[in-house]
Amino acid sequence: MKWLAALCGLGATISAAAQVARLPEPRGVYRLTPGIYVEQGIGCAAPPNASIRRYDGQGISGAHSRACRVTVLSRRGNRYSVSQSCIDAGAGPAPRSSERQVVTVRDATTFTLRRGAAASTFRYCSIAQLPVDLREYAR
């Protein structure tokens, strides 16, 4: 029985490693995995818009912003002080605005975003974990 439990544990370890191996390679300004991130403590299956961020290698956008681009002002280890500019609408014409942020990258699938005094930590959600309407946006 002990060997069966050990074998099952090994299978779970291999399965988890295989899932990690299928993630897109970290890239871009923050060396994060591109895709959808949700605020820590929120499930990936039905996140509210306010807790969703998308990293595309160029910047971190929200549900109501797009085409975000980062200018790194300074970097100390995994902590980036940046100016990020985004188009302030999910779709259609809108002005571009900029704000200063501090992004701390814990690993390729987790970051903390600080804007002013407020900070939130976000974690990566695989496409399979997301609701259908977010899956295309994640690609």
- Three-state secondary structure call for residue 119: strand
The one-letter amino acid at 33:
T
Mean pLDDT in order along the chain per 10 residues (139 residues): 42 43 82 96 95 96 92 97 91 88 97 95 95 83
Output the pTM of the full model: 0.80
Predicted pLDDT at 25: 87
Predicted pLDDT at 3: 40
Long-range CB contacts for residues 112-117, cutoff 8 Å, separation at least 24 = 113/53, 113/60
The secondary structure of residue 25, as a DSSP letter, is P
Tens-place pLDDT, residues 31-61: 999 999 999 999 999 999 999 999 999 999 9
Q: Which of 102, 85, 134 is nearest to 30 (CA)?
A: 102
Predicted pLDDT at 124: 97
Give kind and range of the element (H or E) at residue 69: strand 66-76
Predicted pLDDT at 90: 72
Predicted pLDDT at 92: 79
Determine the Cα–Cα distance for residues 40 and 32; give it in Å rounded to an integer. Answer: 16
Q: Which of 87, 71, 82, 73 is nearest to 111 (CA)?
A: 82
Predicted pLDDT at 13: 42
